[in-house]
Structures are given as structure tokens and as C-alpha cells.
Amino acid sequence: MTSGTLEGMKEFRRRKYCDRTCMGLAQTHENPTRAAVQKRVLKFLKASCEHCGTPEKLSIHHIDRDWRNNDPANLQTLCTSCHTSLHHRQGDIMPKRTPPPCTVCGKPSYHSEFCHTHRTRFMKHGSPYLTKKQFGLEWRLVEDRG
């Protein structure tokens, strides 16, 4: 019933919930997702970073590292820089591994043991050592391990 009159059967069948209270109860979950929990803790966000004092790019850090524990004593307001640094110090974020050098020329490698140039030669021709050499008017692929 809307505004004192009965609604038509078409509107009634389209309705998913009987009222807003019913809808609210249906949308609360026993095990909320991390995104839902993050929205709830935003009300505890302070005006500035508790570590460096900047008022920009703030986020919530859970001191005991349990994102489900939203006790205000467990929450800390940090800027993204301090938050990332904290997790680096705690060992949660590992630095990127540098790839090994190219086995042919020693430059930084691509996703394998070859740099971009030698990986392309390997994929196209089957050998990373092939180079183009001119013999008279003709170009040939020659294996150069020099």
C-alpha cells in the first residue's frame, strides 16, 4: 500500500521486499565482505594521519591486522604512504625481485632469461643468437655467438 491506496498486482509482483525494514534485514550478512567492512570503518577516519600528520589520502589501518575487528581502539588513521611503509616494515609487502640479466648480452631480462631483443629473436627464429648480416645485396640470418 502506497499513500493510502492499494497498489496494482503488476507493481506488487515486481516488488522484491515488503518494506524498507525487510530490505535492510535481507541485505545484512553474517559474514560481510571486506569491501562492506571498509565502508563501515570510514566513520572512524580522523582528520589527519596519526603518524606524519598529513590530511591527504587517508586510510584505516587495523593494528592487530584483522580486518574484521573494527573496535575503535584497533583502528588507526594513516596516509597511504605511512600505511604502505608500515606494511613493508612488517613484511607484508615484499619488494619486487629484479629479473636475472639476459644470458646473451647481460641487459635486464624480459620475462625469461632473455632481454626483449633476444626474446623476440628466439620466438621468431628459434635462436636468440641470430642476427641479420648482409652478403652482397642479400641479407641472411647468421648465428653470432660472439
Q: Could you read off the pLDDT of 34-88 as tens digits, one per residue?
A: 788 788 888 888 999 999 999 999 989 999 988 888 888 999 999 999 999 998 8
Hunting for cell 588513521 — which residue is that?
Answer: 77
Question: Would you place residue 2 in the very low, low, confident or very high pLDDT band (cuts 50, 70, 90)?
Answer: low
- What is the domain partition of the chain in residue ranges? 9-89, 97-146
CB 67 within 8 A of CB 92: no
For the stretch 107-140, pLDDT in tens is 888 777 888 888 888 888 888 888 888 888 888 8
What are the distances in angstroms from CA 47 to CA 12, 44, 54, 95?
46, 10, 9, 30
pLDDT at 146: 63
Coil, strand, or helix at residue 90?
A: coil
Quote the pLDDT of residue 53: 92
Place of cell 515486481: 14
Please, what is the Cα angle at 63 between 60 and 68, to 5 degrees?
70
Confidence at residue 24, expressed as pLDDT on a 0 to 100 scale = 81
Sign of CA dihedral 86, 89, 94, 97: positive
Nearest in space to 118 (alpha carbons), one of 135, 136, 100 = 100
In the predicted structure, residue 94 carries a pLDDT above the cut 80: no
